[in-house]
Each structure stands twice: as structure tokens, then as C-alpha cells.
Amino acid sequence: MARKGSLRRRIVLLLTLAMVAGGVYTAVAFVQRSEVLITERCTADGAGSAELATDQAANAGLITAVAVRRGLPARAASIALATAMQESKIRNIGHGDQAGPDSRGLFQQRPSQGWGTSDQVMDPYHATNAFYDALVKVPGYEGLDITVAAQRVQRSAYPDAYAQHEAMGRAFASALAGHTPAGLDCSLRAPDTAGDPAAVEERLSAAFGGVSATTEGSTLVLDAEGERAWALAHWAVANAKGLSITEVQAEGLGWTRADRNGWQPAGVPAGQVRITVAGSDE
């Protein structure tokens, strides 16, 4: 009888362990499936609402950051974003079209028309600055329709095409320039690799110019407030996918990648922007 009781207990134990293991497997599989089902995208709300893919949003962040760095109004970034969407879908493409076979980059600039060398127009920083160099020479560009201002710079064969991207340009420029607090949100899957605060700081400095930053573990801490704080914070959210950023905090609010609930109240100290990247154990 004792042997039968012992055998029965072992069977119950094995069945329990199997059920636990099955439950864990099911939970893990559910989480993994849920991650796969997430449509990664970034949404800007404020001066209208618009949506971009994550790679487009990262490039939009750079284009707008350069405008902020140069002290240009958000209108300049709106024009640049609408132009880049029409010319390249805001992607740094290395080919042109039949009308401009040597066109390259975010703005499809042509070396044969004096925009720089092939390597230069493929450099997003050079291309963006070259666009703004030309834009600021257009008299009264801030008061012009976006399609008119863009055409004065680009001299496109399709001058009316830029107008269709005006709403997107305004929405993302307003958020990324910091004019719309908590105006940019990205829905992302969990990061595949660990992040590097130093890499975030390097990219920020390249986009905005020198930034005052310190590092606390996996968190980069920036001194900024007001529109400047929101410009930095929204840039970080727009670049969260590529830089494995998991959390951004600014002006009493926080964006958490895993929650996917947008900006929520957070205890960030005044005058700070905090950008946290994924650790090696995540």
C-alpha cells in the first residue's frame, strides 16, 4: 500500500509540474505572439494628427532637430518634412528616378545641380542643412503655402505634389520642435538588443548640437525645460526603436515603451529629461 501511495504522489507531482510548465510555455508564447502582432508606428498629435513608420519618424526627428539647432521656426521643419515625404518618403534612399537619375538622399538632391557630392547628399545632416540653406533664401517663406515654399527650393517637375503632405509636416514638426507637449507617441515591440546611453548622447549632440548630459547607469540625464525639453524627449521617442530606448521622462510626464499607454504622470525632477535604454538582461 505504501508503494502505491508513493507512486500516486509521484504521478500527481509529475502532472502538476507538467501543468505548470505548460502554463509557463503558454504565457511565454502568448507574450511572444502579442509582440509580433504589434504594429510599430509613431503618431504625432497637436497641430493635427498624423502617423509615420518608425524609420520615417527617426528621420523626421533629425530634420526637425536641425531646424531647432539653427533657430528656425517650426514652419521651416513643416516645409522640410512635407518635401522629404514627397521626394523620398522620408527615407535616405540611394537612387533617383527617370527625371533625376542622380538624385539621392532624404530630399533627392542632385549633385549635378550643386547640392554636394553623392556622398554628401546621402549624409542626412548635410542634406538637411543644404535644404534649409536654400529655404531661408526664399523671401517670406514662412508665410508661403508649403507647396510654394518647397517648390522654390526643389524646382520639382510636380510642384503641386507637396501639398498633400502638409498635415503630416505640421503635426510632426509641432511635436518634434517641442511646441506640443506629450505630442509624440510610438508603439513598439520590446527591444532586441541592449542600448547604450553614450550612443544616445552622441546622436543627440549630432542632431541638436552639444547637450549637457550625465549618465546614471542605463539612463541619460539632460538639463532642459519647456520646449527644449519636449524637443529632446520627442526625439528620443522617435528614435526609441533604433537606440533600444525603453523610457523617456520630461516635464512631469513619462513615456514607457512596454506600457504602450502614451505619456503618463511621472516623478521626473524639474528641468530634467531622462532617457533610459534597455539593459543587457532585458
Q: What is the pLDDT of residues 64-113, one digit of tens each?
A: 999 999 999 999 999 999 999 999 999 999 886 655 677 889 999 988 88
Phi, psi of 232 (to 5 degrees): -65, -45
Prediction pTM value: 0.84
Sheet holding 253-256, edge to edge: 213-216, 219-223, 272-277, 245-250, 253-256, 263-265
Task: Return the amino acid letter for 251.
Answer: E
User: Average pLDDT in the 102-128 region?
Assistant: 91
Task: Return the amino acid letter for 269.
Answer: P
- pLDDT confidence band for 24 (50 / 70 / 90): very low
- pLDDT confidence band for 5 (50 / 70 / 90): low
Q: What three-state secondary structure class fits 174?
A: helix
User: Average pLDDT in the 199-208 region?
Assistant: 96
**How confident is the model at residue 234, as a pLDDT?**
98
Contacts of 245 (CB under 8 A, 6+ apart): 191, 195, 200, 236, 237, 239, 257, 275, 276, 277, 278
**How confident is the model at residue 37, as a pLDDT?**
62
- pLDDT confidence band for 38 (50 / 70 / 90): confident
DSSP letter for each residue of 182-245: T-EEEE-PPPSS---HHHHHHHHHHHHS---EEEETTEEEEE--HHHHHHHHHHHHHTHHHHTE
**How confident is the model at residue 166, as a pLDDT?**
94
- pLDDT confidence band for 145 (50 / 70 / 90): very high
Q: What is the dihedral of CA 122, 125, 128, 133, to 10 degrees?
A: -110
